Amino acid sequence: MIAITDLQKIYRMGDVEVRALDGVTLDIAKGEFLGIMGASGSGKTTLLHMLGLLDIPTSGGIEIDGTDVSLLNDHEKTMFRLYKLGYVFQDYALVPDLTVMENVSLPAMLRKDLTEKQYHDASIDILTKIGMLDRQDHLPRELSGGQQQRVSIARAIVNKPDILFADEPCANLDTENSRMVLDLFKEINEEMQQTIVMVSHEDWHKEYFHRIIRLQDGKVISDGTTGTKAH
Amino acid sequence: MGKKELKVAFLLALRSLQRGSRSSVILTILIIGMCFTNMIFLPGLFNGIGQSITKQVVDYEIGNVLVSPKSGDQYVSDLGATLSLINGMPGVERATPHFTKGATLKYRQRILGASVRAISPNDEKSISPLYTKMIAGSYLGQDDTGEVIIGKPVAGDASIRQEDEFQSSLGGVRVGDSITIDYGNGYVKDYRVKGIYFTGWSQADSAVYVTSTDMALVDPKAVDNADYITVKAKPGYSETFIKNELIQYGVSQKVQTTSDLLAKSMGRALQSFAIINMVSLIVSIIITTVVLFIVITIKTINSRRQIGILKAIGVDKEVIMHNYGFQVIILGVLGIILGIIVTLGLAAYMAIHPVVTPEWSATLYITPMDLLVNSVILFCAAVVAGYVPAYQVSREDIQTAMRA
Ligand SMILES: Nc1ncnc2c1ncn2[C@@H]1O[C@H](COP(=O)(O)OP(=O)(O)OP(=O)(O)O)[C@@H](O)[C@H]1O
Ligand SMILES: [Mg+2]
């Protein structure tokens, strides 16, 4: 599903060079629920950005579903993100001028394969699941961090993307809500063979992952399957 | 761009205007509205002045077409034949001669120079609304002799002392009074003032009118000669049509339309009007363009992160660009609507309270076409001003935008 070869990302700021990713090679299979762990600054977000086509690697290749993404132009990348990918940002990244409902349905509204009723129903459905339906007409600034995070998750999965990238989606949630989110991820992963790549700090999240890779200084230092079975 | 993309762009635009700074939206609309008003006000006023002068020249001086002596002649001669020829032509409402003599008016101790216009009252009614402008007494009868009607400024006001008068007058003539007209060459005649009129057109108001019949007694030349013939066109017939027709039918005098004459006499003034109009148009367009450019640029700079987010979740750059485009369109349309309301309000106010000078009075003359043309010009300027920054910002890469 996703093939990453010798991925490098170097940030240059004046004389200082930060190797955020330093030769990552990785294959992610379809239907896999992958956990990425590692210390702060180890390159987790950077890796996810590259995979989510939000940034361009310094060198190395990414192939998703057989497509070499470096060959896509701006518009094609946008369409790729719209139809195939879902992304939960570490800082939620909700659109400040739009209500919860509008934020969640926005990507669905642009899809040519969905009718207004379809995406409306899907948005209601997902907001119900994450317990935010009663806040559907609120603006992001009227919500708590955890609530914004849940809305961001709803927006990422409402389109039922083939691949979901989630950057610490539970960072601001209590255990109860974290479980709810992880159960939701597990459900869509099992039902629809959706591939999920999730960054996490919490040890207990491991029980949901099929496989965990650990990053340190931009390198993969461990890669192993957990007891949890892939389907 | 499909329907869905446009719908999303419109939604984003609407939300940004609704949830962004209310005061900046209101101020922007206000500025566009004022620019629109500025664009249309001066030209409208100048048009109003032009229209009013034209109308008064047509009504009180020369009708739609003027037949004057061919060069070398002092009078239009062979009057009877020429008049019946012109009056028989299609499209001619009526043609009537004017014969004017300079004279001195005397009333009690006052003396005033004025021109005495000899008219044929019945025909004149078809050409000039003068007979509706009587403020005292009555209009001339067809064959009145020894009767005169005079303009209000000529009659004057008995309560104003001579040295305080703005314009010299006869110092308070009333209907029924007798005034003496001295035509020179020793020809002096007393007249009864039959009526006093006021038109607002100073040339007519500072003259006096007698009948042609009366003038024929004063100057026998008036029987078959005229200084000029004024021709009124029937509704729907253009001045040029009448003029060409007159020439074709063999009117051997000099034939000019009122428009030709006005263009000649007011040419310089019209040129200056055109320059002032052009300046006010260009200034308005520049202000609108610059204001909208700044407003949208600030908006895009303030929402770079939002633009990054939108791109990251799969919103195409075209949608983002049209989002700002729609914002400008909404602001522009609202501003133009405000401008139209203000302009029509001004026009309505000025219809009741025209700009009045001793020479003429004018209202704001604005046609639906003027409103349309100016709206389109301003709208285009607005769209250009909005799309330039929108285009630039929509092309920024996600990482740069999101970190902003
Ligand atoms: N835009 C950037 N410019 C310069 N350096 C950057 C940039 N983004 C990330 N870095 C650097 O790259 C390294 C990896 O950052 P990254 O955000 O991927 O870490 P992370 O593993 O997600 O950390 P955290 O757990 O704190 O979110 C860090 O040293 C960071 O300072
Ligand atoms: Mg991170």
Whole-number pLDDT of residue B159: 86
**pLDDT tens-place string over residues A162-205:** 999 999 999 888 998 899 889 999 998 998 889 999 999 888 99
**Which residues sit with Cβ closer than 5 angstroms to ligand 2, an ion?**
A 45, 90
Residues B233-243 have pLDDT tens digits of 999 999 899 99
What are the backbone dihedrals phi and psi of residue B181, each rounded to the nearest 5 degrees, phi first? -115, 125
pLDDT of residue A219 exceeding 60, the answer is yes
Q: At B111, is the secondary structure helix, strand, or coil? A: strand
pLDDT at A73 over 70: yes
**Residue B363 near residue B391, CB atoms below 8 Å:** no
Strands B188-197 and B147-151: parallel
Residue A19: which of A28, A27, A6, A10 has the closest Cα?
A10
Phi and psi torsions of A89, nearest 5°: -80, 150
β-pair type (B134-137, B188-197): antiparallel
Pull the structure tokens for residue B340. Answer: 């139209």
Q: How far is B300 from chain A (nearest CA, A)?
A: 13
Closest CB to B314: pick one of A74, A82, A98.
A82
Taken in order A65, A66, A69, A71, is the CA torsion positive or negative? negative
Contact between chains at B19 and A139 (C-beta distance less than 8 A): yes
Supply the pLDDT for residue B404: 67
In this predicted structure, which of A24-28, B67-71, B119-123, B162-166 has the lowest mean pLDDT?
A: B162-166
Q: Over the stretch A15-63, which tens digit does the pLDDT of each residue have?
A: 899 999 999 999 999 999 999 999 999 999 999 999 999 999 999 999 9
Q: Which chain A residues have a beta carbon less than 8 Å from that of B7? A: 109
* Closest by Cα among B133, B117, B119, B127 to B63: B127
- Please give the C-alpha separations between residue B381 and each of B76, B198, B290, B340, in angstroms, as whole numbers: 55, 47, 9, 17
pLDDT at A230 over 80: no
CA atoms of B173 and B157, how far apart (whole Å): 8
A chain contacts of residue B311, beta-carbon cutoff 8 Å: 78
Alpha-carbon gap, residue B402 to A104, rounded angstroms: 19
DSSP track, B359-377: S-EE-----HHHHHHHHHH
CA B148/CA B192 separation, integer angstroms: 6
Backbone φ/ψ region at A95: left (φ over 0), alpha (ψ -120 to 50), beta = beta
- The residues lining ligand 1, judged by C-beta closer than 6 Å to any ligand atom, are A 11, 13, 18, 20, 38, 40-46, 90
Length of chain B: 404
Query: What does the pLDDT read at residue B9?
Result: 94
How far is B133 from A181, CA to CA, in rounded Å?
Answer: 89
Provide the CATH topology of domain A2-225.
Rossmann fold (3.40.50)
In angstroms, the CA B21 to CA B194 distance is 70
Mean pLDDT of chain A: 91
Give ipTM to 2 decimals: 0.89
Ligand 1: centre distance to CA A47 (Å) = 10
**Cβ distance of A74 and B317 shorter than 8 Å:** yes
- Going by pLDDT thresholds of 50, 70 and 90, the confidence category of residue B168 is confident
Share of chain A above pLDDT 70, in %: 98
In this structure, the strands spanning B188-197 and B254-257 are: unpaired
pLDDT at B76 over 90: no
pLDDT digits (tens, 9 = 90+) for B344-384: 999 999 889 888 776 667 788 888 998 999 999 889 988 88
Instruction: Express each pLDDT in B116-157 by its tens digit.
Output: 999 999 999 999 999 999 999 999 999 999 999 999 999 988
Alpha carbon distance B314, A81 (integer Å): 5
Q: Which helix (H) or strand (E) holds A85?
A: strand A85-88
CB contact under 8 A, A110 and B312: no
Q: What residues of chain B lie within 8 A of the CB of A110, using their CB?
A: 4-5, 8, 314-316, 319
Positive or negative, the CA dihedral B203, B208, B211, B216 is negative
Among A21, A40, A46, name the best residue to mutate to test ligand 1's pocket (greatest count of ligand atoms within 8 A of Cβ). Answer: A46
Q: Are A60 and A222 in contact (CB under 8 A)?
A: no
Please name which ligand lies nearest the alpha carbon of A167.
2
> What is the pLDDT, as a whole number, of residue B231?
93
**Cα–Cα distances in Å, from B340 out to B343, B348, B373, B375, B377?**
5, 12, 12, 9, 14
What ligand 1 atom has the least distance to the C-alpha of A44? 21
pLDDT at residue A168 in the model: 93
Residues of chain B positioned with their CB less than 8 A from the CB of A75: 316-317
Pairing of strands B208-211, B110-119: parallel
List the helix and strand counts (H, then E) for chain B.
Answer: 13, 12
User: What was the pLDDT predicted at B358?
Assistant: 66
Write down the pTM of the prediction: 0.77
Cβ-in-10-Å burial (0-12, 13-18, 19+) of B227 comes to: middle
Cα–Cα distance measured from residue B390 to residue B375, given in angstroms and rounded to the nearest whole number: 22
Token pair of B173 as six digits: 């003539």
- Ligand 1 centre distance from Cα of residue A18 (Å): 9
Point out which residues pair with A163 in neighbouring strands.
A85, A195
pLDDT of amino acid A229: 61
Domain boundaries, chain B: 3-57+268-403, 70-252
**Residue owning the nearest CA to atom 14 of ligand 1:** A43
CB contact under 8 A, A54 and B398: yes
Task: Point out the residue among B11, B312, B317 whose CB comes nearest to the CB of A87.
Answer: B312
Say if CB B339 and CB B346 are below 8 A apart.
no
Contact B323, B14 (CB under 8 A): no
pLDDT at A231 over 70: no
Per-residue pLDDT, B400: 79
Distances, alpha carbon A195 to alpha carbons A15, A29, A79, A190, in Å: 39, 8, 18, 10
At A228, the pLDDT band (50, 70, 90 cuts) reads: low
Q: What token pair was written down for A202? A: 């919490």
Q: Which residue of B has its CA nearest to A82?
A: B314
Could you tell me which chain A residue has the CA closest to the CA of B4? A110
In this predicted model, what pLDDT tens digit does every residue of B262-291 receive, in sequence order? Answer: 888 877 777 787 888 888 888 888 888 888
Mean pLDDT of chain B: 89
Summarize pLDDT for A104-161 with one digit per residue, the tens.
999 889 888 889 999 999 999 999 999 999 999 999 999 998 899 999 999 999 988 9
- Binned at pLDDT 50, 70 and 90, residue B70 comes out as confident
Q: Which residue has the tokens 């993404």?
A: A69
Question: pLDDT, tens digit, for every residue of B318-348?
Answer: 999 999 999 999 999 999 999 999 999 999 9
